[in-house]
């Protein structure tokens, strides 16, 4: 049964609805504010970023408590992924903001001389952010701070599935930022639909591919650019040359963090048959080291967000394979034990649908060729993880698979590097953000060329004589 430190978030009252007319009026006010050019100024951007950081610093205990209520998150995971990650992002953007805002000089070819060429970053207008529920603050504020740094007003619609977290945002955020430029809407799908009917400068969505397609279709009506972070089935391949104990610990940690409700989690493992027994022994040992013999009473293991998702995951587990580790469930407590499955049928739904829970199927392969073939038979994931000390094997897998990102000998640590853009490809999403890439994501990178009145080259103008054609052919080789 659940403990008092992990109450059921689904007991919260549903959020009050907001009329479409009220939403339209708020978005119109953001466009008027944007046209006033207030948000373009460096001082305004700096003030908003500092305000967001103060919001997190002064309310960190409140945020961690909300995450415990909504998801049963351990304080370590809550702080590192939903508080610390955002504060670090703000610090990075504040440090680089003057340089990011400056026009960027680029080369000018001989044909255009005499001239100079620049890329001018400019704000795009109000940005709509629709984050997922699994990291209610992290996935909400990483795009928000990027949009603010780029000089845009923001509309944030937190997920209705994490009501305590949404309540904190609604009640406290605008005390720290420009309340005329940052709007928080609380509501369910009808609120999101009403927001998507409005015109925005950019839409950022994190969630399922099914809803991502709906977001993209709605954005198309206004030709609004979108960034979609959609997840998918991220494979982890364990080659015979890998350090099996380290691979087992890292894969299990990545799968079980936040009870597996992480878009970057390894969704299944492909392990070389020659070392599969040793790997499975290592993963069993790691499970006991991490969570003990009674994971349900372990404060470091989170809970499933609600009963609907609990039922979905349990349904996927049914008949999926042999249980090596875990398998216990408690619906009232929204608890699914850290579970590892073996002898999984390739045709079973668990090998085709994103699990998004603490269940890890393990399948043996004859070697890298079979692993690559298997991975290529599925939609392109958000990430591919390769565990191999043989460099040629790792490079082979990286070269012959397609994914939004990849990590060798670890899982999702690339997300902590602000110099690496984050995003998917194909069914796992489009667009790149986080770190320094967030500024460009929410900016119009305007191409500018500056030239004088002289010389005024007559070869450009009609009549187009033979010698002009010869000249152009010589220059444009």
Q: Round to whole Å and give the CA distance between 397 and 399.
A: 5
The 3-state secondary structure of the chain reads CCCCCCCCHHHCCCCCCCCHHHHHHHHHHHHHHHHCCHHHCHHHHHHHHHHHHHHHHHCHHHHHHHHHHHHCCCHHHHHHHHHHHHHHHHHHHHHHHHHHHCCEEECCCHHHCCEEEEEEEEECCCEEEECCCCCCCHHHHHHHHHHHHCCCCEEECCCCCCHHHHHHHHHHHHHCCCCCCEEECCCCHHHHHHHHCCCCCEEEEECCHHHHHHHHHHHHCCCCCEEEECCCCEEEEECCCCCHHHHHHHHHHHHHHHHHCCCCCEEEEEEEHHHHHHHHHHHHHHHHHHHCCCHHHCCCCCCCCCHHHHHHHHHHHCCCCEEEECCCEECCCCEECCEEEECCCCCCHHHCCCCCCCEEEEEEECCHHHHHHHHHCCCCCCEEEEECCCHHHHHHHHHHCCCCEEEECCCCHHHHCCCCCECCCHHHEECCECCCHHHHHCEEEEEEEEECCCCCCHHHCCCCCHHHHHHHHHHCC
Tell me whether the omega of the peptide bond preceding residue 114 falls within 30 degrees of 0, making it cis.
Answer: yes
Q: Is 370 a catalytic residue?
A: no
Q: Single out the catalytic residue among 77, 89, 186, 263.
A: 263
Instruction: Check 77, 160, 229, 354 and give the catalytic one.
Output: 229
Rounded to the nearest 10°, the torsion over CA 84, 90, 94, 98 is 140
Task: Give the count of beta carbons closer than 10 Å to the beta carbon of residue 194.
Answer: 21
CB 419 within 8 A of CB 95: no
Q: Is 87 a catalytic residue?
A: no
Q: From residue 188, how far is each of 15, 145, 182, 347 by CA, in Å? A: 7, 23, 19, 35
Number of neighbouring beta carbons within 10 Å of residue 244:
22
Question: Which residues are catalytic, by number?
Answer: 229, 263
């Amino acid at each position: 049964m659940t403990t008092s430190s992990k109450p059921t978030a689904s007991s919260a009252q549903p959020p009050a609805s907001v009329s479409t007319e009220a939403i339209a009026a708020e978005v119109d006010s953001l466009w008027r504010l944007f046209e006033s050019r207030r948000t373009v100024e460096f001082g305004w951007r700096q003030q908003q970023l500092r305000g967001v950081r103060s919001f997190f610093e002064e309310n960190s205990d409140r945020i961690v408590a909300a995450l415990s209520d909504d998801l049963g998150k351990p304080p370590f995971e809550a702080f590192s992924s939903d508080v610390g990650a955002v504060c670090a992002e703000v610090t990075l953007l504040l440090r680089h903001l003057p340089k990011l805002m400056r026009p960027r000089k680029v080369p000018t070819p001989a044909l255009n001389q005499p001239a100079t060429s620049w890329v001018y970053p400019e704000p795009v207008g109000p940005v709509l952010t629709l984050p997922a529920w699994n990291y209610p603050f992290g996935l909400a504020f990483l795009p928000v701070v990027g949009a603010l740094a780029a000089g845009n007003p923001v509309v944030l619609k937190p997920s209705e599935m994490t009501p305590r977290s949404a309540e904190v945002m609604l009640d406290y955020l605008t005390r720290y930022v420009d309340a005329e430029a940052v709007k928080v809407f609380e509501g369910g799908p009808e609120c999101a639909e009403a927001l998507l009917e409005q015109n925005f400068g950019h839409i950022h969505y994190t969630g399922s591919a099914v809803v991502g397609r709906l977001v993209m279709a709605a954005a198309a009506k206004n030709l609004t650019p979108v960034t979609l972070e959609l997840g998918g089935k991220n494979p982890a391949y364990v080659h015979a040359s890998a350090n099996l104990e380290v691979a087992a610990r890292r894969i299990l940690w990545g799968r079980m963090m936040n009870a597996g409700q992480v878009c970057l989690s390894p969704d299944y493992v492909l392990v070389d048959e020659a070392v599969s027994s040793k790997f499975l022994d290592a993963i069993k040992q790691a499970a006991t080291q991490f969570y003990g013999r009674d994971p349900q009473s372990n404060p470091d293991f989170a809970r499933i967000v609600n009963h609907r998702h609990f039922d979905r995951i349990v349904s996927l587990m049914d008949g999926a394979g042999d249980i090596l580790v875990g398998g216990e469930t408690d619906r009232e407590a929204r608890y699914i034990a850290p579970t590892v499955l073996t002898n999984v049928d390739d045709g079973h739904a668990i090998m085709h649908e994103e699990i998004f829970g603490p269940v890890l199927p393990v399948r043996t392969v004859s070697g890298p060729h079979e692993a690559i073939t298997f991975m290529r038979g599925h939609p392109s994931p958000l990430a591919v993880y390769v565990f191999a000390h043989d460099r040629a094997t790792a490079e082979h897998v990286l070269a012959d698979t397609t994914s939004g990102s990849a990590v060798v000998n670890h899982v999702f640590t690339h997300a902590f590097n602000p110099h690496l853009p984050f995003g998917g490809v194909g069914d796992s999403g489009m667009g790149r953000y986080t770190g320094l890439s967030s500024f460009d994501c929410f900016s119009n990178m305007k191409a500018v060329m500056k030239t004088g009145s002289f010389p005024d080259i007559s070869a450009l103008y009609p009549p187009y004589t033979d010698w002009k054609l010869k000249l152009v052919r010589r220059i444009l080789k």
